[in-house]
């Protein structure tokens, strides 16, 4: 059976791990390495996976190594791995924003197979979006296996260039937080209107879920769906006019550009 090592026990690795286990991946074929005992022990207790404080032990155990540490730690972790254990025939899957394949291979001191993956946190529920880009050293079997891992937590898209990883970050990697902020603002206003905090949350979350399902279950352009629920001179039109006049569309564009710019900065700073 294929074995996986998760280096790091942060939010993204935790999301992928939970999605895999929830889809039936054998937790005894997964090991989590993290210097913080509480984090890795929490994942082990919740999902039944193995855990260790040693990156070396984890890498020795696995066929695929998921690098989920902070970008500024990637080089250090990869150098440690390359120095202390045999890494031939292993495939490295990086979910770290801003670290290029070239940088990872340099730290590993060799042209080892590296796949960059940019998932998002809804992966823990099976509703993730992941962009993937593979180095030329990755075999077709390794590409297929990695694709299957990520399909278990949502939809995937193979990218034509590594630069498109930054685009995925702006469009879907960071995007759940965009929606959370919008929902938070709606909830706060609902509370101000007299609903309880719980009532406000239920109203907002169900509305967001319903809107998403209308997009999923309809082939019409999103713009047309918006028009279909906007009666001329009605309440929805009044609200949308305020949002548009307030510059919402440009604000969203600016926010996504900021995410893209920051991703590029992180890559430059990790050189």
Residue 148: helix, strand or coil by DSSP?
Answer: helix
CB crowding 162-194: b at 16 or more within 10 Å, else e: eebbbbbbbbbbbbeeeeeeebeebbeebeeee
Annotated binding site: 7-12, 55
What does residue 71 show for φ and ψ, rounded to 5 degrees? Answer: -50, -40
The distance in angstroms from the start CA to the end CA of the chain is 36
Annotated binding site for NADP(+): 7-12
Q: Please give the structure tokens belonging to residue 6.
A: 């998760």
Annotated binding site for NADPH: 55
Q: Please give the structure tokens belonging to residue 192.
A: 């101000």
Question: Up-side HSE of residue 79: CA atoms within 13 Å toward CB?
Answer: 8
| Contact between residue 43 and residue 32 where contact means Cβ atoms under 8 Å apart | yes
């Amino acid at each position: 059976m294929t074995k996986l090592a998760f280096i790091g026990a942060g939010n993204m690795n935790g999301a992928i791990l939970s999605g895999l286990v929830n889809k039936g991946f054998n937790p005894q074929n997964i090991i989590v390495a993290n210097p913080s005992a509480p984090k890795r022990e929490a994942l082990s207790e919740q999902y039944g996976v193995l855990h260790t404080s040693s990156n070396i032990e984890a890498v020795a155990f696995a066929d695929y190594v998921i690098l989920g540490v902070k970008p500024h730690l990637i080089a250090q972790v990869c150098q440690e791995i390359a120095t202390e254990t045999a890494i031939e025939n292993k495939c490295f899957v990086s979910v770290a924003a801003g670290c290029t394949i070239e940088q990872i291979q340099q730290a590993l001191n060799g042209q080892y197979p590296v796949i960059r993956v940019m998932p998002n946190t809804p992966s823990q529920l099976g509703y993730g979006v992941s962009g993937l880009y593979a180095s030329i050293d990755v075999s077709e079997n390794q590409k297929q296996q990695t694709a299957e891992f990520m399909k278990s937590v949502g939809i995937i898209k193979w990218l034509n260039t590594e630069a498109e990883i930054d685009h995925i970050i702006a469009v879907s990697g960071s995007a759940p937080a965009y929606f959370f902020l919008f929902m938070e603002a709606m909830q706060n206003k609902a509370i101000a209107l007299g609903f309880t905090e719980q009532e406000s949350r239920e109203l907002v979350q169900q509305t967001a879920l319903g809107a998403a399902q209308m997009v999923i279950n309809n082939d019409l352009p999103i713009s047309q769906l918006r028009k279909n629920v906007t009666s001329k001179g009605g309440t929805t039109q009044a609200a949308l006019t305020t949002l548009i006049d307030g510059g919402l569309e440009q604000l969203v564009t600016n926010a996504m550009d900021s995410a893209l710019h920051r991703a590029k900065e992180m890559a430059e700073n990790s050189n």
